[in-house]
Amino acid sequence: MKITILALGTRGDVQPYIALGLGLQAAGHEVTLASLELFQNFVTDYGLEFASLGSVSEEFRKRSMQEAKRNTIPFHGLFGRVRFWSLFCSFLEPLMVNTWNICQGTETIIYSRLTLTGYHIAESLRVPGIAAYTNPLTPTQAFPNPLCTLDFRLDGTLNWLTHVLEGQFRWQFARKKINQWREQTLKLPPVNITGVYRRQQKQQIPILHCYSPAVVPKPPDWPERAYVTGYWFLDPSPEWQAPKELLDFLAAGPPPVYIGFGSMTGTNPEALTELVLAAITQTGQRGILLTGWGALSNADFLPDNVFKIDSVPHDWLFPKMAAVVHHGGAGTTAAGLRAGVPSILIPFGADQPFWGQRVAELGVGTKPLPRKKLTVERLAAAIRTVTTDQAMKARASALGEKIRSEDGITRAVELFHRYLPSHSRS
């Protein structure tokens, strides 16, 4: 079967779909992963076919930096999300053209949250479509939508309403352009103002959530077609080799504390790096700084107990750490939990506060430290906690062992075949 996976976002957003693609490929399917141009080598290095959805990311990063000058944290809060979706929808036309062309001849489409076109193309081509999310986005009364950042708790119906409102928020920005495209290119009737969710319900479209049920159990009010499969982990490429300098640093002393903020940008990197280094100094710990997309500065002068690196596979590095400090993206959180070491999450926005709260509730990390409230003293206190609290270490280790015993990719492939029995081996 020819399968097209549509995955947009940062490296951490795309990585699980490479893992899923490899699982489907191993099951005998022909898989193409479509994503942003900058991920071409990342995808093809693992042996998957790649198709480009364009080079939106460079312009998006420029605008993110402009946002940062105004907000410190790009696209944070209600008005930040308005600007995010306004900007995102300005790229919809090339995204619609690219995805439509890429999907010609495919027999199944698997689509992530940001690839808004996947559902509509599957309908037009009359091929199965499967939603695949890294967050628990199916409406429930158990917890609020992870993308709906709140400073207070809700219960029951109000939790469910946040899911509805988040879906409407996204749909109303995209509705006009998508409906024009549906009519003119896909030859489909427009979707009404209520959006796609109820249509997906009626059509019984399966939804795969790629995280561990030990981290977020399936809520009792989810439909049967919504699944929690376990994480889709991607191990480092066989060609990847750790730099000798990194290996030497790890061998030279006790396990260090990892600190990195992935794709976060525009955070006054010099000030944040100074804060991080001061906290490490206060605690007497060794540290590894990952500069990522620029949240931490590429400082040349660091103390001997701190090692700096631009990029390194989390699944290789994290098990060697005493603890991990990061922004709380779904992928980085998953890698930290799998490693079985305590975590400190410093949310910047989006789904990160949700994962930070979940880590704290599981007792495998400290309470989240929001970026806007981060100080040297608070970070140092959190580092002391995660490196000395033996009960927390034991809980983190046990959860890591549980997660490592799961096989989310195999489970996802089994569900794929369950919904497509007549095509599962063709």
Asked if 394 and 412 sit in the same domain, the reply is no
Q: State the Cα–Cα distance between residues 130 and 123, nearest whole angstrom.
A: 11
At 167, is the pLDDT very low, low, confident or very high (cuts 50, 70, 90)? Answer: confident
Question: Are the C-beta atoms of 144 and 162 separated by less than 8 Å?
Answer: yes
Which two three-digit tokens encode residue 292?
Answer: 């990522």
Say if residue 338 is in the same domain as residue 373: yes
> How many Å apart are CA 265 and CA 76, to the nearest integer?
12
CATH of the domain at 371: 3.40.50.2000
Do 106 and 217 belong to one domain? yes
Give pLDDT tens digits for 301-327.
688 899 998 889 999 999 999 999 999
Give the whole-number percent of the chain exceeding pLDDT 90.
Answer: 64
Which is more confident, 180 or 198? Answer: 180
What's the CA gap between 307 and 288, in Å, rounded?
5
Which pLDDT tens digit goes with each residue over 17-62? 999 999 999 999 999 999 999 899 999 999 999 999 987 545 555 6
Residue 376 forms part of a structural domain: yes
Shared domain check, 347 and 208: no
Residues 314 and 191 in one domain: no
| Domain ranges, residue 395 | 244-405
Total number of domains constituting the chain: 2
170, 85 contact by CB (below 8 A) = yes
pLDDT digits (tens, 9 = 90+) for 57-70: 455 556 655 655 55
Q: What is the pLDDT at residue 166?
A: 84
Average of per-residue pLDDT across 346-353: 88
pLDDT at 426: 40
Same domain, 250 and 349: yes
The single-letter code of the amino acid at 95 is L
Q: Do residues 204 and 267 both lie within one domain?
A: no
pLDDT tens for each residue of 71-103:
444 445 556 666 677 777 777 888 899 999 999
Residue 254, both tokens: 């006790």
CB atoms within 10 A of CB 206: 21
Same domain? 304 vs 271: yes
What sections of 5-91 are H helices per DSSP? 11-26, 40-44, 56-71, 77-90
Looking at the domain assignment, is residue 239 inside a domain?
no
- Tokens found for residue 335: 């890698």
Task: Give the per-residue pLDDT at 423.
Answer: 46
Cα Rg, the chain, nearest whole Å: 21
Q: Are residues 261 and 185 in the same domain?
A: no
With the C-alpha atoms ordered 131, 137, 139, 141, is the resulting torsion angle positive or negative?
Answer: positive
- Do 62 and 198 lie in one domain? The reply is yes
CB 328 within 8 A of CB 346: yes
Domain co-membership, 319 together with 195: no
CA 370 to chain centre: 18
Task: Please indicate, yes or no, if residue 371 is contained in any of the structural domains.
Answer: yes
**In the structure, how many helices (H) and strands (E) does the chain have?**
16, 12
